[in-house]
């Protein structure tokens, strides 16, 4: 099977060159039946609780929804900048929204997917903010406020959670490595995460899951691809060409990473 993983574009609303590049990537990757995994923070500010009226006008959103209608499944994990998306995307063919991490089986390999804002439980201030924003009373208030107020609120909250879960006093690399180990103990062979804006693909050690960090979409313009048991981390080069960063073969054994030139 074939799948694409992407996260942390932090796109603005409206026409934008980075949103157009994002849409172009989706059109290139749209092999029939392929699954698109959106791992959160595609938009920099989107509280969707007030429904479809909160949707950003964006070529990136158009491309994601076109994927669900005509290519394959879209599994959309919320981030800390875009959340309560289910009311905004209700009825979109092929699109499933997940408020938190999910486990999926790809070619028989258990893969754990998360945006990453919950990777570091030591960041108590952010975790408390997250619980508040995801609570039923908050959702009800945002819904009652209506689309334009919810959009304005989302913009303010986006600033509040800018460093959510990866605050400067906390070591993101240690937190995410420990998280991948624990995911391996739960049976996952690969853990895919965004949020940290780091780019990396490393094999699991001592029973831990391999870790793919998806990078971001303003410098590296990076993304992950799954193809028949092989995970590849890629980025877009200066001339718009595709550059493979690392590849991990998860068919059979524990998996071996190959650096790419
Ligand atoms: Mn994030």
Nearest to 190 by CA among 114, 88, 95: 114
Where is 23: in which H helix or E strand? Answer: helix 17-29
How many angstroms from the chain centroid is the CA of residue 86? Answer: 15
pLDDT in tens, 178-191: 999 999 999 999 99
Burial 56-85 (b: 16+ CB within 10 A, else e): bebbbbebbbbbbeebbbbbbbbbbbbbbb
Does the reported pTM lie above 0.85? yes
Q: Which pLDDT score, from 0 to 100, does residue 122 have?
A: 81
Could you give the CA distance from residue 44 to residue 13 in angstroms, rounded to a whole number? Answer: 8
Look at residue 55 and give its three-state secondary structure: coil
pLDDT in tens, 127-175: 888 898 889 999 999 899 888 888 888 888 777 776 665 555 568 899 9
- Going from the Cα of 104 to the center of ligand 1, the distance in angstroms, rounded, reads 21
Across the strands, what pairs with 110?
105
- Going from the Cα of 229 to the center of ligand 1, the distance in angstroms, rounded, reads 27
Q: Which pLDDT score, from 0 to 100, does residue 260 have?
A: 64
- Going from the Cα of 69 to the center of ligand 1, the distance in angstroms, rounded, reads 27
- Going from the Cα of 214 to the center of ligand 1, the distance in angstroms, rounded, reads 11
pLDDT in tens, 43-68: 998 999 999 999 999 999 999 999 99
- Going from the Cα of 215 to the center of ligand 1, the distance in angstroms, rounded, reads 11
* DSSP 8-state code for residue 8: -
Look at residue 146 and give its three-state secondary structure: coil
- Going from the Cα of 161 to the center of ligand 1, the distance in angstroms, rounded, reads 8
- Going from the Cα of 165 to the center of ligand 1, the distance in angstroms, rounded, reads 8
Which residue bears the tokens 């952010």?
Answer: 126
- Going from the Cα of 125 to the center of ligand 1, the distance in angstroms, rounded, reads 15
């Amino acid at each position: 099977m074939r799948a694409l993983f992407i996260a942390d574009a932090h796109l603005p609303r409206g026409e934008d060159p980075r949103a157009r590049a994002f849409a172009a990537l989706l059109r290139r990757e749209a092999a029939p039946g392929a699954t698109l995994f959106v791992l959160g923070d595609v938009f920099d500010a989107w509280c969707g609780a007030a429904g479809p009226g909160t949707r950003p006008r964006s070529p990136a959103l158009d491309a994601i929804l076109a994927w669900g209608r005509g290519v394959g499944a879209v599994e959309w994990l919320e981030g800390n900048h875009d959340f309560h998306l289910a009311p905004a995307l209700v009825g979109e063919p092929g699109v499933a929204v997940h408020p938190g991490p999910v486990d999926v089986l790809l070619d028989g390999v258990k893969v754990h997917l998360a945006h990453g804002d919950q990777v570091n439980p030591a960041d108590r201030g952010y975790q408390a903010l997250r619980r508040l924003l995801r609570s039923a009373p908050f959702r009800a208030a945002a819904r009652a406020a209506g689309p334009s107020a919810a959009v304005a609120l989302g913009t303010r909250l986006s600033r509040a959670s800018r460093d959510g879960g990866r605050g400067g006093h906390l070591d993101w690399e240690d937190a995410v490595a420990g998280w991948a180990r624990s995911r391996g103990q739960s049976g996952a062979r690969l853990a895919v995460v965004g949020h940290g804006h780091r780019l990396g693909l490393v094999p699991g050690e001592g029973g831990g899951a391999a870790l793919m960090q998806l990078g971001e979409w303003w410098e590296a313009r990076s993304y992950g691809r799954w193809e028949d048991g092989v995970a590849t981390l890629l980025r877009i080069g200066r001339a718009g060409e595709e550059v493979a960063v690392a590849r991990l073969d998860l068919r059979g054994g524990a998996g071996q990473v190959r650096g790419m030139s």
